[in-house]
């Protein structure tokens, strides 16, 4: 085996490769925005609204190595002209210690890196910064012969919230939490351990999207305040729960906030509710007591254009204020109303809510919680409310900037939407036909029951339904909650085979008539009798072949006429009608629905199908089909 010794000598570089020739210019800058200098809000809470930011620029040669400093400045850094032009500027210090500032500055490398700062101005927007090096001589002071340029972008925000918008109401945002009851050894809640039993509280996610005046998200961590009201509700009109979701007792459409001040005016109501009613808008007779806008009640404001057209206007006042006092038709609140460009007059929708409340926001007993926006400008919290209040009207206000920006959501407390049922409660003979729905591949399923009546007779069948939500597993079983105030859709289909047969026979007769008339018009006189010659005086048909066709069409028409007359005579023996009262139909207290099915003059082969189902995404129930048909004759032995 042959071997050899190789000696390798490593010598230091002479620097001829790294000759100071720029090949790459590269920015290193974080993507966070800066904010305008004259932001009146400034730093709030945990949010630091920086008005400047440092960034670095690397200049490397073609081998990716830092270049040497040349005879002049290495970089020219400048802001492009298509910027906000609100006074934003750059600052840098060169290798000789000379401080520079302006729209364009020169920079040198320290350790292969240039460090600069960007400063915002008075206007928001986007700034594009360019950094240029000269490949020819690494000197930008004597003119740039071969530019190597890179760009970076800086966003300038206002840091101010200009609008808030609720993302819901979303039925799928309803959920329940695990019971937090402490399990005591040997103790049971009924037959189940206490930590498996539902505590009867529903939770619902509520979210808002915040945006600044230019449609950008505000800084992450910007606080949003949520407030909730759900009473006092009107006890005389649209009463919850037996007449619907309810409406607030103190409400109106002609509120007049005093811009830049803390006064809120409203005119007298028009109609008296009781004999002693003073018509004061903030002192409302409400059953056995009065609904009064007292201190610490909440004044909710809505923009009618926002409610009706889903758009908001800066001229209007949206959100809430805490009431601090009342004098006649005037309320005093805790914070001034916005000073806007015009006086909107008495056109603001208002509602007053006063404790005690049934639900709260984020489980704070005060009904108020402050959360913060994320990087996308979204702030979320949860509402909590008892199952016994499902269907009740509520309002939630979201506010920012000390109440200067707000949004209001008006809806009702939802149960579990999916898997809801319209349970048949009465009559018993129909209830006994209902079979449990198990493993249906599609939703909603159709539950079918049948009721018999005398043919040609009259039926008025009272029924009771109960609308129940999708339920919650509690102690190993499904617990459902009644849902009041939900519209019930009713479809009535009359099945009358005799009438259908009569219509079909009349259509067949009409087609036969048309066929006959068209043929006769196209072939006139084909059945006329003529004498063809003096030698054969016996008359014959002018065109025997076509005459045979005409006779066949005439026979078909005669048969169709006879059939149509007979079918119509049978159909006219009965004129079935069917309806449901009352109309419209809705679930009331405890989710009950009371209705009467009316059917009259049903033929022996007829029937009526009544379909009951819920309307809207908030409650997605099964469909109940009740079929009414004549009693079938017993089969002959």
Domain residues of the chain, as ranges? 24-157, 163-181+193-412, 418-496+576-630, 497-556
Smallest CA-to-CA distance from 179 within 166, 191, 197, 167 is with: 197
Q: Which two tokens stand for residue 91?
A: 């600052």
Q: Is residue 314's pLDDT more than 60?
A: no
Full 3-state SS string of 451-489: EEECCCCEEEEEEEEEEECCCEEECCEEECCECCCCEEE
Q: Which two tokens stand for residue 300?
A: 């909710």
Sign, CA dihedral 476-481-487-493, equals positive
Full 3-state SS string of 480-535: CCECCCCEEEEEEEEECHHHHHHHHHHHHHHHHHHHHHHHHHHCCCCCCEECCECC
Q: Which two tokens stand for residue 552?
A: 């066949």
* Alpha carbon distance 325, 321 (integer Å): 12
* Alpha carbon distance 602, 63 (integer Å): 95
3-state secondary structure of 154: strand
Residue 42: count other Cβ atoms within 10 Å of its Cβ. 12
* Alpha carbon distance 94, 481 (integer Å): 73
- Residue 175's pLDDT is 73
pLDDT confidence band for 567 (50 / 70 / 90): very high
Sign, CA dihedral 516-517-518-522, equals positive
The CATH fold assigned to 418-496+576-630 is Immunoglobulin-like (2.60.40)
Contact 555/549 with Cβ under 8 angstroms?
no
Q: Is residue 289's pLDDT more than 70?
A: yes
Contact 332/324 with Cβ under 8 angstroms?
yes
CA–CA distance from 456 to each of 574, 575, 606 (Å)? 7, 9, 10
Q: Are strands 348-353 and 360-361 parallel, antiparallel or unpaired?
A: unpaired
Q: What is the pLDDT of residues 370-397, one digit of tens each?
A: 688 888 889 988 889 999 999 999 999 9
Residue 234 is given by DSSP the state P
Contact 175/182 with Cβ under 8 angstroms?
no
3-state secondary structure of 127: strand
Q: Which two tokens stand for residue 223?
A: 């606080």
- Residue 46's pLDDT is 54
Sign, CA dihedral 181-182-183-188, equals negative
3-state secondary structure of 623: strand
pLDDT confidence band for 318 (50 / 70 / 90): confident
- Residue 177's pLDDT is 65
CA–CA distance from 129 to each of 11, 55, 59, 249 (Å)? 42, 11, 16, 59
Identify the bridge partners of residue 301 per DSSP, sorted by sequence position.
319, 350
pLDDT confidence band for 43 (50 / 70 / 90): very low
Residue 87 is given by DSSP the state S
- Residue 190's pLDDT is 54
Q: Is residue 547's pLDDT more than 70?
A: yes
Q: Which two tokens stand for residue 508?
A: 């067949």
Architecture label for domain 24-157: Sandwich (2.60)
Residue 71 is given by DSSP the state S
Residue 420: count other Cβ atoms within 10 Å of its Cβ. 25
Specify the pTM.
0.74
CA–CA distance from 445 to each of 340, 438, 471, 616, 625 (Å)? 54, 10, 17, 16, 10
Q: What is the pLDDT of residues 255-284, one digit of tens each?
A: 999 988 999 999 999 999 999 999 999 999
Q: Is residue 365's pLDDT more than 50?
A: no
Contact 622/593 with Cβ under 8 angstroms?
no
* Alpha carbon distance 270, 507 (integer Å): 60
Identify the bridge partners of residue 424 per DSSP, sorted by sequence position.
465
Q: Are strands 446-453 and 623-630 parallel, antiparallel or unpaired?
A: parallel
Residues counted in the chain: 637
Residue 47: count other Cβ atoms within 10 Å of its Cβ. 19
Radius of gyration of the chain, Cα coordinates, nearest whole angstrom:
41
- Residue 196's pLDDT is 64
* Alpha carbon distance 131, 133 (integer Å): 7
How high does pLDDT run on average in the chain? 86
Average pLDDT of 418-441?
80
pLDDT confidence band for 182 (50 / 70 / 90): very low
568 phi and psi, to 5 degrees? Answer: -65, -35
pLDDT confidence band for 205 (50 / 70 / 90): confident
E strand or H helix at 288: none
Average pLDDT of 357-363?
83
Q: Which two tokens stand for residue 5?
A: 């010794």
Strand order in the sheet with 34-35: 34-35, 147-157, 125-134, 75-79, 104-107
Smallest CA-to-CA distance from 407 within 264, 210, 248 is with: 210
- Residue 10's pLDDT is 45
Smallest CA-to-CA distance from 232 within 159, 276, 298 is with: 298
Smallest CA-to-CA distance from 383 within 360, 364, 417, 367 is with: 360
Contact 394/230 with Cβ under 8 angstroms?
yes
Contact 322/346 with Cβ under 8 angstroms?
no
CA–CA distance from 260 to each of 39, 164, 254, 283, 400 (Å)? 20, 21, 18, 25, 17
Q: Which two tokens stand for residue 177?
A: 């939490």
The most confident of the ranges 39-43, 415-419, 633-637 is 415-419
150 phi and psi, to 5 degrees? Answer: -135, 160
Average pLDDT of 554-566?
96
Q: What is the pLDDT of residues 87-139, one digit of tens each?
A: 999 999 988 889 999 999 999 998 889 999 999 999 988 999 999 999 999 99
19 phi and psi, to 5 degrees? Answer: -95, 5
- Residue 418's pLDDT is 82
Lowest pLDDT segment from 20-24, 125-129, 208-212, 475-479: 475-479
Q: Is residue 310's pLDDT more than 50?
A: no
Lowest pLDDT segment from 81-85, 123-127, 436-440, 607-611: 436-440
Contact 385/202 with Cβ under 8 angstroms?
yes
* 24-157 shares its CATH topology with 418-496+576-630: yes
């Amino acid at each position: 085996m042959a071997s050899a010794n190789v000696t390798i000598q490593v010598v230091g570089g002479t620097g001829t490769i790294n000759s100071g020739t720029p090949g790459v210019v590269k920015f290193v800058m974080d993507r966070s925005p800066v904010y305008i200098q004259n932001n009146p809000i400034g730093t709030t809470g945990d949010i630091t609204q920086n008005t400047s930011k440092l960034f670095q620029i690397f200049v490397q040669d073609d081998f990716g190595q830092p270049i040497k400093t040349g005879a002049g400045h290495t970089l020219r850094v400048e802001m492009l002209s298509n910027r906000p032009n609100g006074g934003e500027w750059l600052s840098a210090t060169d290798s000789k210690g000379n401080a520079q500032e302006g729209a364009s500055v020169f920079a040198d490398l320290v350790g292969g890196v240039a460090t600069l700062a960007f400063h915002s101005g008075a206007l928001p927007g986007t700034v594009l910064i360019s950094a240029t090096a000269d490949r020819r001589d690494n000197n930008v002071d004597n003119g740039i012969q071969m530019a190597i340029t890179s760009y970076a972008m800086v966003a300038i925000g206002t840091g101010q919230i200009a609008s808030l918008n609720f993302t819901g109401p979303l039925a799928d945002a309803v959920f329940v939490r695990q019971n937090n009851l402490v399990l005591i050894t040997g103790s049971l809640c009924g037959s189940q351990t206490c930590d498996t039993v539902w505590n009867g509280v529903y939770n619902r996610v509520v979210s808002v999207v915040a945006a600044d005046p230019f449609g950008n998200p505000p800084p992450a961590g910007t606080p949003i305040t949520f407030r909730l009201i759900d009473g006092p509700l009107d006890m005389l009109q649209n009463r919850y729960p037996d007449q619907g979701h309810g409406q607030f007792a103190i409400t109106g459409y002609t509120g007049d906030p005093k811009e830049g001040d803390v006064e809120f005016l409203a005119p007298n109501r028009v109609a008296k509710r009781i004999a002693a009613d003073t018509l004061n808008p903030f002192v409302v007779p409400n059953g056995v007591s009065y609904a009064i806008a007292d201190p610490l009640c909440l004044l909710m404001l809505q923009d009618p254009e926002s409610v009706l057209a889903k758009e908001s206007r800066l001229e209007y006042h949206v959100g809430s204020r805490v009431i601090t006092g009342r004098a006649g038709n005037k309320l005093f609140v805790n914070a001034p109303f916005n000073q806007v460009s015009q006086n909107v007059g008495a056109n603001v929708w208002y509602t007053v809510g006063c404790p005690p409340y049934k639900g709260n926001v984020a489980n704070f007993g005060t009904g108020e919680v402050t959360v913060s926006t994320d990087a996308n400008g979204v702030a979320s919290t949860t509402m909590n409310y008892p199952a016994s209040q499902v269907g009740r009207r509520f309002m939630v206000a979201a506010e920012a900037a000390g109440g200067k920006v707000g949004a209001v959501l008006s809806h009702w407390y939802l149960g579990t939407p999916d898997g809801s049922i319209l349970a048949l409660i009465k009559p018993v003979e129909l209830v006994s036909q209902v079979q449990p729905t198990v493993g249906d591949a599609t939703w909603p399923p159709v539950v079918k029951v049948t009721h018999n009546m005398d043919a040609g007779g009259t039926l008025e069948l009272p029924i009771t339904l109960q609308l129940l939500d999708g339920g919650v597993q509690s102690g190993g079983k499904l617990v459902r909650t009644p849902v009041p105030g939900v519209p019930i859709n009713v479809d009535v289909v009359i099945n009358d085979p005799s009438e259908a047969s009569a219509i079909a026979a009349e259509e067949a007769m009409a087609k036969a008539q048309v066929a006959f008339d068209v043929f006769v018009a196209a072939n006139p006189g084909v059945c006329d009798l003529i004498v063809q010659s003096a030698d054969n005086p016996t008359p014959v048909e002018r065109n025997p072949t076509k005459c045979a066709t005409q006779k066949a069409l005439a026979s078909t028409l005669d048969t169709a006429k006879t059939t149509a007359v007979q079918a119509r005579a049978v159909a006219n023996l009965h004129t079935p009608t069917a309806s449901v009262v009352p109309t419209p139909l809705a679930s009331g207290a405890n989710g009950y629905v009371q209705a009467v099915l009316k059917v009259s003059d049903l033929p022996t082969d007829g029937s009526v199908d009544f379909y009951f189902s819920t309307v809207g995404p908030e409650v997605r129930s099964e469909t109940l089909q009740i079929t009414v048909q004549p009693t079938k004759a017993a089969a002959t032995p």
